[in-house]
Chains A and B, each alone.
Chain A
C-alpha cells in the first residue's frame, strides 16, 4: 500500500526533471535561439562535422555554461574516424583536419 501511495504522490524524483527542463530552457534563453532554431543549428553543425569526420548522428552535444555572467558555448561529438576523401580541392586539403 505504501508503494501505491508513493506512486500517487510522487517518488521524489521531480527535482531531476526540474533540473533537466531548466537546462534546456536556459540554453534557449541564453542564446536567444528558440527550439526550432536550436535544432537547425545542431543540424548545420552536424553537416559541417560530417564533411570531415565520420560521426554518429545523435552523439552531438551542445552546451551553454554560464560563469560570472559570461556564457561559453561548448560543442562535443564522439568521432569515429576521418572521412575518406577521394578528391579534395586545394582549399579543402589545406583546411582538412589531420588524420586521427
Chain B
C-alpha cells in the first residue's frame, strides 16, 4: 500500500515510475529506456526497466538479455510466477533489472488495473521504474501509462514525430501525468544549415520542460548490435548525454549541450531555453 507521500507503511520511499513514450514508432523509446536505466544504475540507483510492448518485445534484445528470459510481465499479472522470478539482472550492473514483455500475447491480454498491480509490487524494491511504452495510443500505450506518475516523451526533431508527440501530450495531460521531453537524434550540423528543427524550435512547439538532448550517434547502433546499452560506453556522445539526463532526473542541475554559430556551448536548462 502506498501512502500519499509516496512511501509505504514503513516510511520507505517507493520508487518513481516513469512511462517512456512517443506516439510515433522508431524514435528511440527502447534505446532511451535501456540507456537511461543503465545511467541511473551507474549512479547507484536500483532501477527496473519494464517492456510493456506485449507481443513485440525489444528491451531484452537491446540489453543483451534475450537468452535469459523465462517469465514475463503477463506471467506476473496472471500470477503464473512470483514477481521476483520474472526480473532479470543486467550483465553490466547489479542495480539494473529487466521485466520483459511476453512475445506471444496481444496487447489487450492485460488491462490497466492488471499492470498497476504488477508495478506496485516492484515499487518497494526499486528507486526508479521506467516503462517502455509501445508506439501508438491504443491499449498498449494506456497500459504503459496506467502505473506512471511521470512521463518522458521522446521525439526526433522532425515533422511526423513532433506531431505524434503533441497528440500524446494531450492524452498524458488528461491523465494528469507530468511530461518531460527528450529530443533524440539531433544533428547540429543540419540545424546550423537550416535543414533540421533546432532544440528551441521543438521545445517552443511542444511547450513542455526539456530534460535532455541526444545527438545522432553511430555508437547507438553498434551498441544495439552487441547488446550493451550505449550509456555503459563512456566514449560515446549519446552515452554521455544519457548520463547527464540521469543526473537531471536525480535533481542535479546539469547544463544542456547545444550549438550556436558553429561553436558548442553549455546552456541553462529551462522552458525558454533557446537559440540555434
Measured CB to CB, the residues of A under 8 A from B are: 10, 12-16, 18-19, 21-23, 25-26, 29-30, 66-70
Residue of B nearest to A71 (CB): B170
B167 x A29 contact (CB < 8 A): yes
Contact of A30 among B162, B170, B196, B198 (CB under 8 A): B170
Among residues of B, the one whose C-beta sits closest to the C-beta of A28 is B163
Mask, B81-110, CB within 8 Å of A = 1, is: 000000000000000000000000000000
| Contact between B193 and A19, CB atoms less than 8 A apart | no
Task: Report yes or no: A15 in contact with B194, Cβ–Cβ below 8 A.
Answer: yes
Query: What residues of chain A lie closer than 8 Å to B113, measured between beta carbons?
Result: none
- Cα–Cα distance between A95 and B275 once the two chains are bound (Å): 46
Contact A26 B205 (CB under 8 A): yes
| Contacts A30-B170, A66-B166, A69-B173 supplied; 7 other A-B pairs, CB < 8 Å | A14-B194, A15-B197, A15-B198, A19-B201, A22-B162, A29-B167, A30-B166
Report how far A23 CA is from B166 CA in the complex, Å: 11
Contact (Cβ within 8 A) B163 A22 = yes
Q: Is the CB of A15 within 8 A of B205?
A: no
B166 proximity list for chain A (CB < 8 A): 26, 29-30, 66
Across-interface contacts of B138 in A (CB, < 8 A): none
Task: Output the least CB separation between B30 and chain A (Å).
Answer: 25
User: Which among B169, B196, B206 is the interface contact of A15 at CB below 8 angstroms?
Assistant: B196
9 A-B pairs with the lowest CB-CB distances in the bound complex, closest first = A12-B194, A69-B173, A12-B193, A66-B207, A15-B194, A14-B195, A18-B159, A67-B207, A22-B159
Determine the chain A residues whose CB is within 8 A of the CB of B253 once the complex forms.
none
Chain A residues contacting B201 (CB-CB under 8 Å) are 15, 19
25 contacts between A and B (CB under 8 A): A13-B194, A14-B195, A15-B191, A15-B194, A15-B196, A15-B197, A15-B198, A15-B201, A18-B158, A18-B197, A19-B197, A22-B159, A22-B163, A22-B205, A26-B163, A26-B166, A26-B205, A29-B166, A30-B166, A66-B166, A66-B206, A66-B207, A68-B208, A69-B173, A69-B208
Q: How far is the CB of B121 from chain A (nearest CB, A)?
A: 31
Q: Mark B156-192, 1 if CB is under 8 A from A, else 0.
A: 0011001100110110010000000000000000010
| Chain A proximity of B83: nearest CB distance (Å) | 34
Distance of B261 from chain A, by nearest CB (Å): 14
- Contact (Cβ within 8 A) A21 B207: no
Of B159, B167, B196, most buried by chain A (CB within 10 Å of CB) is B159
> Given the known A-B contacts A22-B162, A29-B163, A67-B207, are A15 and B195 also in contact in the complex, defined by CB atoms under 8 Å?
yes
Chain B residues whose CB sits within 8 angstroms of the CB of A26 once the complex forms: 163, 166, 205
| A23 CA / B205 CA spacing, docked (Å) | 8
Query: Max chain B CB contacts within 10 Å: which of A16, A21, A22, A68?
Result: A22
Contacts of A19 in B (CB 8 A): 197, 201, 205
Q: Across the interface, which residues of B come within 8 angstroms of A29, CB to CB?
A: 163, 166-167
Q: Which residue of B lies closest to A66 (CB)?
A: B207
Give the distance to chain B from A22, nearest Cβ to Cβ, in Å.
Answer: 5
Contact A21 B159 (CB under 8 A): yes
Q: Which residues of A contact B163 (CB under 8 A)?
A: 22, 25-26, 29
* Nearest opposing residue in chain B for A13, CB measure: B194
Q: How far is the CB of B191 from chain A (nearest CB, A)?
A: 8
In the complex formed, the residue of B with least CB distance to A69 is: B173
